[in-house]
Amino acid sequence: MLLIQFAMIVVDRALYLRKNVPGKFIFQIVLVIGVHLWMFFVLPGFTDRPFVENSPAQLWYFTKCVYFGLSAYQIRSGYPTRILGNFLTKKYNYINLLLFQGFRVPRDKYTIKVFFMLIATLRIFKKDSFEFFFIQINHSYMYELYPIPRGVKKKAMVKYGAGGLLVFLLIIIIWFPLLFMSLVNTAGLPNHPIDATIEIAMGGYQ
């Protein structure tokens, strides 16, 4: 199920990059039919639990319904004609730098975006040089605004606070989808014992 979710995200993103509204419409219909068949027919057959008694499945279905509504609005309105992905590069400051670096973290998604969206005469593996130039200029600009003396040790609060926060966010990003999908795939109902019979026998004594 987790792999299927990831594949749907990739397909949806590819349709967005290509601005393919008819493809998005067909993809929406396939998803709606597939999700309803899975939630109301296939999953209850596997778990022996009706949909109305499966709370994780209901939460997942509600999330999917919200996604279907937003996708339908996107299909009706069409994809934007102006790409806003580079709006973070309009100014040089720490906020824009951190947000832009976060945008670049999912490397596969970012590389696909560059290959699809950028039109240039450079080789395919050189097309992300523009974003690299922005980061270097931003660093130079921030050094001028906030000069830091060389050789000064960072405070423990700054060092461990920022590093600990990044590690915590990384753990959440990795484990939250896995834990959520494990709840959705839970099969069966707990069967607690309500009655027991115990017999004790002692032998070898006179």
Task: Write the DSSP assignment of 170-193 as a string of letters.
Answer: HHHHHHHHHHHHHHHT--S-----
For residue 105, what pLDDT is reported?
66
pLDDT tens-digit map of 14-35: 888 778 899 999 999 999 999 9
With 0-12 / 13-18 / 19 or more C-beta atoms within 10 angstroms meaning exposed / middle / buried, residue 110 is middle
For residue 90, what pLDDT is reported?
77
How far is residue 58's CA from residue 129's CA, in Å, rounded to a whole number? 45
For residue 119, what pLDDT is reported?
52
pLDDT along the chain (206 residues), means of 10: 75 83 94 93 87 90 93 88 66 80 64 54 56 76 79 77 80 75 63 83 67
For residue 66, what pLDDT is reported?
94
For residue 133, what pLDDT is reported?
74
For residue 82, what pLDDT is reported?
62
What pTM value is reported for the model? 0.47
For residue 64, what pLDDT is reported?
92
Sign for the CA dihedral angle at 179, 31, 117, 70 comes to negative
Q: For residue 17, give every residue at least 6 positions away whose Cβ sits within 8 Å of its Cβ, in sequence order, or none.
A: 112, 113, 116, 117
C-beta neighbour count of 108 within 10 angstroms: 8
For residue 70, what pLDDT is reported?
92
For residue 59, what pLDDT is reported?
93
Residue 144 and residue 137 in contact, taking contact as beta carbons nearer than 8 Å: no
